[in-house]
Amino acid sequence: MKRLLGAVLLLLVGSAACLLTSPSASAQGLPAQSLKRGTWEFEPFVGGGTGLLHASGTQFIIAGARVGKVLTGEHLHGWARGNFEFAGDFMPLYLVMQPGGTVYGASFKPVIFKWNFTSNHKIAPYALIAGGVLFTTSNVPAGNTSYVNFTPQGAIGFHVFTRPKRAWDFEIQFVHHSNASLGTFNPGLNASVLFTIGYNWFK
């Protein structure tokens, strides 16, 4: 998992370097062509990850879909140029492999605030913050906790465009799982990191 984390971070740093050295906006690139105001994003994705610190014995497998809409035109200048998108995720598969056994769950994130960086000609990095909820068939973490956990999180990622309005998406999420004292105990999974890969259609 550490090697995978290093590889993903290397890819993200590489995409940021490409963004910083992007050509002039006079020749509009694929991100700017594809991520215009009013554009809808549709994306199926799969992924997995692990808990950190005291939760390092817990792993995750997820699969779902994202729907979003670009709400603004481009703002700012240079490498920071981009637009704002509002999105949501639904994950009918959210497996929690914790000490004591694997627990099936489903999750949705109704609130995703996302900034798309659009100055590069092929790669569009982005950063987001989100809030969601996870429902599981047994308590997570195990014990006298709760089968409902809230999942505030932040993420960074990048779209790699293969042609106009089509792109691969790579994302790394930093997730906090907490039942907000819905259960008798709330030890939480304070820090987890998840990686996803998906494919985008922009319309």
Confidence band of 2 (pLDDT split at 50, 70, 90): very low
| Higher per-residue confidence, 89 vs 12 | 89
Task: Tell me the three state secondary structure of residue 12.
Answer: helix
pLDDT confidence of residue 19: 46
Is residue 66 scored above 80 in pLDDT?
yes
pLDDT confidence of residue 190: 86
Confidence band of 182 (pLDDT split at 50, 70, 90): confident
Non-local (6+) Cβ contacts of 190 within 8 A are: 53, 54, 55, 176, 177, 178
Average pLDDT (121-125) is 95
Encode pLDDT of 145-167 as tens digits.
999 999 999 999 999 999 999 99
Domain ranges within the chain, ordered by starting residue: 1-21+42-147
Task: Tell me the three state secondary structure of residue 127.
Answer: strand
The token duo for 56 is: 């390092």
The pTM for the full model equals 0.83
Cβ pair 34, 118 in contact under 8 A: no
In sequence order, what are the beta bridge partners of 15? Answer: none
